[in-house]
């Protein structure tokens, strides 16, 4: 009876997280205590190997309200980091191309022109590669100086926008953003189904997602 009750709470917890656009990811690890880590659109839970399903469900259910209440703040911090990251790319910092420091320098305006050209050069082949894998096709692809996002998707027009600053990062980051936006043509939200579609295309997407968020893990 207790297990059924806890399972019901777990289903409710997943629904509440889904409504807030948060994916739940539970991983068993060699840890002593249960750990919660809230990221943009993701609640990561690490639990001891000995913890059973009922205990996990109960622990998660107790933290749902916390995750939902704090998600907006996490998103805001994430956007500020992205903004700061883009600002550094337009300043006097070393010129990066696909994550590698270049031997020459450019002014802020020249950097944007340079990045725009480099991104334009790879877009056709990258979309040709990933559209069949995702099973979604964009009608139009545009580049923009975006300060709070790396990409966006107009699902009705099937139009994908990419940030001109992406070439500063390893090309895998650009590939992740392309897949992310193409997946929105299947799911116009950040539901668990959306993230599963992303993970199916790029199993290690979290690494590139974190790199763009200013993290290394």
* pLDDT tens sequence across 37-52: 998 888 888 889 888 8
101 plus 201 within the same structural domain: yes
Helix (H, G, I), strand (E, B) or coil at 190: coil
Domain of 195, CATH number, reads 3.30.2010.10
Q: Tell whether 201 is covered by a domain.
A: yes
Higher per-residue confidence, 141 vs 79:
141
Contact 208, 172 (CB under 8 A): yes
- Residue 209 pLDDT exceeds 50: yes
pLDDT tier at 117, thresholds 50, 70, 90? very high
- Residue 26 pLDDT exceeds 60: yes
| Cα–Cα dist 205/42, whole Å | 13
Domains: count for the chain: 2
Contact 108, 165 (CB under 8 A): no
102 plus 207 within the same structural domain: yes
102 plus 180 within the same structural domain: yes
Domain of 71, CATH number, reads 3.30.2010
- Residue 216 pLDDT exceeds 50: no
61 plus 161 within the same structural domain: no
Of 76-90, 94-108, 194-208, least confident by mean pLDDT is 76-90
- Residue 8 pLDDT exceeds 50: no
The DSSP-derived string for 169-182 is S-HHHHHHHHHHHH
């Amino acid at each position: 009876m207790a297990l059924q009750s806890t399972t019901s709470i777990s289903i409710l917890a997943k629904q509440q997280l889904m409504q807030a656009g948060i994916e739940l990811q539970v991983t068993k690890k060699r840890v002593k205590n249960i750990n919660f880590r809230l990221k943009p659109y993701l609640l990561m839970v690490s639990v001891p190997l000995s913890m059973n399903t009922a205990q996990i469900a109960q622990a998660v259910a107790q933290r749902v309200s916390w995750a939902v209440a704090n998600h907006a703040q996490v998103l805001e911090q994430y956007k500020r980091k992205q903004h700061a990251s883009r600002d550094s790319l337009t300043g006097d910092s070393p010129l990066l191309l696909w994550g590698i420091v270049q031997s020459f320098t450019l002014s802020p305006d020249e950097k944007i022109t340079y990045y725009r050209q480099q991104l334009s050069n790879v877009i056709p082949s990258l979309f040709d590669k990933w559209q069949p894998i995702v099973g979604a096709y964009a009608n139009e692809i545009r580049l923009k100086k975006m300060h709070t996002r790396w990409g966006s998707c107009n699902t009705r027009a099937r139009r994908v926008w990419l940030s001109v600053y992406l070439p500063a990062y390893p090309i895998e980051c650009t590939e992740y953003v392309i897949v992310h936006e193409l997946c929105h043509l299947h799911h116009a939200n950040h539901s668990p189904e959306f993230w599963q579609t992303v993970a199916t295309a790029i199993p290690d997407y979290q690494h590139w997602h974190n790199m763009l968020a200013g993290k290394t893990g």
